[in-house]
């Protein structure tokens, strides 16, 4: 059943097509740019964050005085970007993901400050060549190679940072932050969170040794860069990032006749990609993006324990499938790779088909995405049948 929904340096930015809400951009970037507005934002911002947070900065003398540099940090919340922007001695350009709209309050500052937009999950040669061009002009370029904050643990770096360093022959400056997850929430509550930013030693530009496959070398170089970043993260923060051990998922389905008796689900409507579907349902950041940034009606999937109606479930799964088909087929695969991302999409489709069957046959479904994991403090499993909401910012 188908768903109901549907390496060269360049001088100028060429025309790039983005989603409708971004529009078609044809812009030339000269570094530094937006000098007045960025100077104001940086000056006012430094005063404000010193008032609203407690900065703990080290290694600030490691910032080079001139020349191109790629600033690389770990990414658990919003304040890393704020601190990198405000406390860098020079203006920072950023490469920013644009596969989905940002939260409205974040989008305002992105529009004011500006970034080099890239569509995550698909080749955007103009964007990466623009980044190389900006580095050729002696820029500071900010990059967070883990790719996003949708996973609760440390992840492998994306290879783009190594690619950029190699093609621009730009050194890399690792910056380690203590976890800032929920930091913006504390700021809004005037709790003045401590934000720790540790700047490491400059890493020479990436080179490719003879006889080694480029793809593997870029991955190895990117991982080495992130190792340098994580060496700068306080041990307490690293332990918090690694608290999820032996994580496993399953998706339980029980079906009942109108009289309450259990029935077997036909083979063609069983959920074959249950673990991948359950993992998706236990990733609140993914849901927040779909619900808040894209206004998709996915609420029912976040509350399966409340037994939502078939109509609400079909609206939720249909909206996701239509978005994947019509707007952003890379939403899962960019974040989880081709195999697991495709399994997540197939799991949503299977759930859609199952609910259609149940509605047609007047069958009641009981659905439960199960997540199990351990922590370093206990050998016992933590078992959850609903996602743990996180304070992303």
Domain with residue 85: its CATH number is 3.40.1130.10
Q: What is the model's pLDDT at position 215?
A: 87
Q: Is residue 43 part of a domain?
A: yes
Residues 292, 231 share a domain: no
In degrees, rounded to 5, the angle at the alpha carbon of residue 143 between the alpha carbons of residues 142 and 149 is: 130
Q: What is the average pLDDT value for the chain, to the nearest integer? A: 85
66 backbone dihedrals φ, ψ, rounded to 5°: -150, 175
- pLDDT value at 380 more than 50: yes
- pLDDT value at 392 more than 80: no
Q: What is the model's pLDDT at position 389?
A: 66
- pLDDT value at 58 more than 50: yes
CA distance 129 to 110: 21
Structure tokens at 246: 């032996």
Residues 231, 251 share a domain: no
- pLDDT value at 13 more than 50: no
- Number of domains composing the chain: 2
Residues 259, 203 share a domain: no
CA distance 250 to 95: 36
Residues 200, 325 share a domain: no
Answer with the one of 205, 240, 275 that is the final residue of a domain: 240
Q: Is residue 223 part of a domain?
A: yes
Angle between helices 331-361 and 274-281 (to 10 degrees): 110
- Residue predicted with more confidence, 50 or 211: 50
Structure tokens at 128: 């990466």
Q: Is residue 292 part of a domain?
A: yes
Structure tokens at 158: 């994306």
Residues 205, 58 share a domain: yes
Answer with the one of 178, 211, 240 that is the final residue of a domain: 240
- pLDDT value at 112 more than 80: yes
Residues 216, 134 share a domain: yes
- Count of beta carbons in the 10 Å neighbourhood of residue 258: 9
Q: Is residue 7 part of a domain?
A: no
Mean pLDDT is lowest, of 56-65, 98-107, 220-229, for 98-107
- The region, left, alpha or beta by phi > 0 then psi within -120 to 50, assigned to residue 388 is beta
In degrees, rounded to 5, the angle at the alpha carbon of residue 67 between the alpha carbons of residues 62 and 71 is: 55
Q: What is the model's pLDDT at position 19?
A: 36
Q: What is the model's pLDDT at position 263?
A: 94
Alpha helices (runs of H) in 231-309, residue ranges in sequence order: 235-241, 274-281, 284-288, 299-302
Q: Select from 294, 385, 318 the least CA-distant residue to 4.
A: 318
Q: Is residue 3 part of a domain?
A: no
Q: How far apart are the first and last CA of the chain?
A: 39
- pLDDT value at 324 more than 60: yes
Residues 123, 56 share a domain: yes
Q: Is residue 391 part of a domain?
A: no
Which helix (H) or strand (E) is 254 found in, with range? strand 245-256
Q: Is residue 251 part of a domain?
A: yes
Mean pLDDT is lowest, of 39-43, 98-102, 317-321, for 98-102
Q: Is residue 5 part of a domain?
A: no
- pLDDT value at 25 more than 50: no
Q: What is the model's pLDDT at position 141?
A: 97
pTM, whole model, 2 decimals? 0.78
Residues 226, 83 share a domain: yes
Q: What is the model's pLDDT at position 90?
A: 96
- 300, 308 in Cβ contact below 8 A? yes
Structure tokens at 336: 């989880």
Helix (H, G, I), strand (E, B), or coil: what is residue 364?
A: strand
- Count of beta carbons in the 10 Å neighbourhood of residue 249: 18
- Can you give the residue range of the structural domain that contains 103? 16-240
Q: Decide the pairing of beta strands 92-97 and 194-199.
A: unpaired
Residues 61, 198 share a domain: yes
Answer with the one of 212, 240, 268 that is the final residue of a domain: 240
């Amino acid at each position: 059943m188908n768903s109901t929904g549907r390496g060269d340096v360049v001088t100028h930015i060429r025309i790039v097509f983005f989603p409708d809400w971004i529009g078609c951009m044809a812009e030339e970037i000269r570094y530094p740019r937006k000098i007045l507005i960025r100077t104001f934002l940086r000056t006012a911002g430094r005063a404000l964050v010193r008032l609203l947070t407690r900065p703990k900065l080290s290694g600030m003398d490691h910032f080079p005085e001139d020349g191109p540099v790629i600033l690389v940090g770990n990414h658990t919340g919003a304040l890393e970007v704020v601190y990198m922007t405000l406390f860098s001695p020079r203006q920072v350009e950023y490469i920013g993901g644009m596969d989905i709209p940002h939260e409205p309050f974040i989008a305002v500052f992105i529009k004011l400050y500006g970034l080099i937009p890239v569509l995550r999950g698909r080749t955007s040669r103009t964007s990466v060549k623009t980044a190389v061009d900006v580095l050729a002009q002696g820029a500071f370029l900010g990059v967070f190679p883990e790719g996003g904050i949708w996973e609760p643990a440390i992840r492998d770096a994306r290879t783009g940072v190594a690619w950029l360093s190699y093609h621009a022959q730009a050194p890399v400056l690792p910056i380690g932050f203590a976890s800032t997850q929920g930091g913006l929430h504390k700021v809004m509550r005037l709790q003045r969170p401590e934000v720790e930013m540790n700047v490491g030693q400059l890493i020479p530009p990436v080179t490719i040794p003879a006889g080694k496959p480029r793809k593997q070398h870029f991955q190895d170089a990117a991982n080495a860069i992130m190792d340098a970043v994580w060496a700068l993260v306080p041990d307490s923060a690293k332990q918090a990032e690694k608290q999820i051990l032996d994580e496993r998922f399953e998706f339980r389905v029980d079906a009942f006749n109108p009289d309450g008796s259990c029935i077997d689900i036909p083979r063609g409507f069983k959920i074959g990609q249950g673990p991948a579907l359950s993992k998706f349902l236990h990733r609140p950041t993914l849901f927040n993006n779909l619900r808040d940034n894209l206004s998709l009606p996915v609420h029912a999937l976040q509350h399966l324990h409340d037994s939502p109606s078939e109509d609400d479930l079909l609206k939720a799964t249909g909206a996701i499938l239509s978005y994947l088909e019509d707007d952003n087929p890379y939403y899962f695969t960019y974040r989880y790779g081709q195999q697991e991302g495709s399994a997540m999409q197939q799991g949503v489709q299977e759930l859609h088909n199952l609910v259609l069957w149940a509605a047609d046959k007047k069958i009641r479904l009981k659905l439960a995405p199960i997540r199990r994991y351990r922590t370093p403090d206990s050998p016992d499993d933590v078992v959850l049948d609903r996602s743990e909401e996180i304070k992303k910012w």
